[in-house]
Amino acid sequence: MPVKHPLFCIVTCLLLLHALQGAVAAMPIPAPPTVAASGHLLMDFDSGQILAESNADQRLEPASLTKIMTAYAAMRELKAGNIRLDDKVLVSKKAWRTPGSRMFIEVDKQVTVEQLLKGMIVQSGNDASVALAEHIAGSEETFANLMNNHAKRLGMSNSHFVNSTGLPDENHYTTAKDIAKVSAATIHEFPEYYAWYAEKEFTFNNIKQPNRNRLLWRDTSVDGIKTGHTESAGYCLVASAKRDSMRLISVVMGTSGEDARAEESKSLLNYGFRFFETHRLYDAETALTRTRVWKGAAETLAVGLEQALYITVPRNQYDNLQATLNVDPKLFAPINKGQKVGSIEVMLAGERITSQPLIALEQVDEGGLLTTLKDSVLLWFD
């Protein structure tokens, strides 16, 4: 049997390796895991891209997932300076008597806003939720209106809240997609307060209670967010995890038990991290190109994005992305900073992944008479 030259063997191996790599890169993404829940969703935090979903727009009872919005509304009040973490809150009889999970505050005693927030986030205290709502808005009913205002601003079009706790009410509902939106807003706007969602236990009134999110013990990449349960809502969990630079948010609503909501959430998160990757393509307010401006004090204009552009794609497909800048062909001064002047389109394998508006990164005022006349002549010939 003839002996092959060593160089031939090396080249053959390299070609085989390249072919195998190409085969791996071209492998289709498998279908998402089947999730035993009334509704679920898996979303990338940075790009907002949904990687898996079922009944994500169906109105469902949120139980204590409601407290994500309750906490978000309270954090907005903190940021606005309307309340402070060291504010003393006098506990009402209504708050003290609220049924369900509690942090065991006592009527007519004072508790700080920070303690109430931790009691609500870590211990899922209904009594803490009501006490916070009353402190911020005067009554829980008025606070629910504030929650609905925030929901509308965040684009939570299929949500309506009537209380701060998530206790059952036929007019109290949200969706997997909507609750993911307020969860993402919490992480984005309040990273310093979001850290409380990772705390595994909290002690108040000499009573130590564990966080009900079992994934905090099972997966070190998980750092939130919130569980919920009532007999009618089933077992719910919004979870978020960050591995390397990629953060995912999963929502499962209406599962059969505590273990089920944790395992279904873990299955979704592992699927997303295994088969997808997220990249930041362009920074915010960074010039992507300069374009001609007619009849302006300046002849060119810097064009870019208002917000950083992130994209989530199947693994090994990043090099196949194609981005196209579509700038309006004729731009006339005056142009205001932030004005939409075109769009950027990102494609993968002939499919549009996303399209985002391009904006003017600077202002261009009207030019003088000579500039206007000159450009009018050039435009006539053009």
Q: Residues 364, 335: contact at Cβ < 8 Å?
A: yes
Please tell me what DSSP assigns to residue 28: P
Which of the residues 64, 159, 164, 265 is marked catalytic? 64
Q: Is 64 a catalytic residue?
A: yes
Q: Is 188 exposed, middle or buried (0-12, 13-18, 19+ CB in 10 A)?
A: exposed
pLDDT tens figures, 18-29? 433 443 444 688
* The pLDDT value given to residue 28: 80
- The residues of the chain that CATH labels 2.60.410.10 are 283-381
pLDDT category at 373 given cuts 50, 70, 90 is confident
Segments in the chain forming alpha helices (H): 6-26, 66-80, 93-97, 113-121, 126-137, 140-153, 176-189, 191-194, 215-218, 258-275, 369-381
Which of the residues 101, 124, 159, 164 is marked catalytic? 124
Pick the CATH number of 283-381 from 3.30.70.1290, 3.10.450.50, 2.60.410.10, 2.130.10.10: 2.60.410.10
Q: Residues 168, 232: contact at Cβ < 8 Å?
A: yes
* The pLDDT value given to residue 375: 62
DSSP string for residues in 103-146: ----TT-EEEHHHHHHHHHTS--HHHHHHHHHHHHSSHHHHHHH
Q: How many CB atoms lie within 10 A of CB 77?
A: 18
Q: Which residue has the tokens 């990772």?
A: 198
Which of the residues 47, 67, 129, 295 is marked catalytic? 67
Whether pLDDT at 71 is above 80:
yes
Whether pLDDT at 9 is above 60:
no
Backbone angles phi, psi at 310, to 5 degrees: -105, 150
Q: At what angle do helices 176-189 and 66-80 cross, to 10 degrees?
A: 30
Q: Is 92 a catalytic residue?
A: no
Joined together, the tokens standing for residue 117 give 């927030």
pLDDT tens figures, 151-186? 999 999 999 999 999 999 999 999 999 999 999 999
- Geometric angle at alpha carbon 60, from 163 and 174, rounded to 5°: 55
Protein fold of 39-276: Beta-lactamase (3.40.710)
pLDDT tens figures, 202-230? 999 999 999 999 999 999 999 999 999 99
CA distances from 231 to 68, 159, 234, 254, 324 (A): 20, 20, 6, 10, 51
* The pLDDT value given to residue 249: 98
